[in-house]
Amino acid sequence: MEGMTESRTLYEVIGGESRVREMVDRFYDLMELEPEFALLRAAHPPTLDNARERLFMFLSGWMGGPDLYIEAHGHPRLRMRHMPFAIGTQERDQWLRAMAWAMEDVGIDEALRLRLMESFYQTADWMRNKPD
């Protein structure tokens, strides 16, 4: 992948704090604006400010940058924290589509997008907790 070396973190390769925040903001903007993400949007509270900040903090550490989420909230425990929300195949697919669109819109390199989408898919699929 262009720009990737053993010594650079994904966080550095993607562009650091500003790029991760831009990607997360675009993701939530799309969720609010695009009708195809209505089911996903309905699973969130009326304001997305907290969700935006938590996803930004999580991705920052997950990508090898500052462990902001862990410092503020402890271990992510993703599956446990998402259990109160009904997540099926449609919700998973809407999340993945919104993230893919967001990454494309903010100009993430295609090879990097594909690599990230593989990881995002594995996590999103693992988060499903309702039958289809």
pLDDT digits (tens, 9 = 90+) for 70-120: 999 999 998 888 888 889 999 999 999 999 999 999 999 999 999 999 999
Q: What's residue 82's pLDDT?
A: 87
Is 103 inside any structural domain? Answer: yes
Cβ contact 45:51 at 8 Å:
yes
Instruction: Name the DSSP class of 52.
Output: H
Q: What's residue 6's pLDDT?
A: 65
- End-to-end C-alpha distance for the chain, whole angstroms: 36
Instruction: Name the DSSP class of 46.
Output: S
Is 132 inside any structural domain? Answer: no
Is 4 inside any structural domain? Answer: no
User: How many other CB atoms are found less than 10 A from the CB of residue 110?
Assistant: 11
Q: Which domain holds residue 76?
A: 9-125
pLDDT in tens, 16-70: 999 999 999 999 999 999 999 999 999 999 999 999 999 999 999 999 999 999 9
Write the CATH number for 17.
Answer: 1.10.490.10
Q: For the chain, how many structural domains are there in total?
A: 1
Assign residue 105 a region (left: φ > 0; alpha: ψ between -120 and 50; beta: otherwise).
alpha
pTM across the whole model: 0.91
